[in-house]
Structure 1
């Protein structure tokens, strides 16, 4: 099994996406369509679902309700939640990077280019959505960890 998702890896992905987007938007901004206000909003429901799932999983692990019975957390379900969390963290980081790159291009041009001023709101909505998805994914991954076993008592 792989270890926990590293924040530095997510930051590196976001930085790469931001730089690539900034370069591409700089070259093609004039031929791009306007950015709708809710262009990046599709990540908000995913983040909300992951937060809810994290609380359910956390409660079941805390109550030691892990197994294949009813109202228990099946270990395969926990593994799938970890996989979902890892994938979502990557998607969120890449998305946040793309929106950051777009904002880095748009913000200096807001006062001179009307389209840049109109596109800024949609880019901010997307940036917040990507950031929230990363946070929700990291929380879900954290909640899937098994609690540490207490040390065995020495025999007397």
Structure 2
């Protein structure tokens, strides 16, 4: 099987590296180009106002959340960018650990990736619940796709943890 041992940890590292780089570039691009953020905000606002006729309390709450998010989007993007850089560094440490056979280099990635898994699980549960109020198609497709992503991420983390437990060096 390809996803066990050192090869599996390298695969985990490669996928984690790809995910970190994608998040890093996306947040950096949104931070540099304010027009991208404004376009995203305007589309979400228009979608909430036009497509979904919810109770006025819910629409007002969503609009106030979007306004707060717009006011502090630079800080949020900086936090995401900083987190992506830290995860990228720990991913490089993970990949290095499989080559130099140094067990302690796995620990930072295991910790940061566990935080990513917990964040993904929280987002998955929240959006799955909210999707039932938005659209039937989203309520069907999102839990499948989100659960698949979360499941793969957990398997990759467990693979690195198993490798860490079995390393003698």
Q: TM-score, normalising length from structure 2?
A: 0.36
Query: Higher relative contact order by CA 8 Å / sep ≥ 6: 1 or 2?
Result: 1
Larger fraction in helix: 2
Rg comparison, structure with higher value: 1
Under a length normalisation based on structure 1, what TM-score does the superposition of the two structures give?
0.38
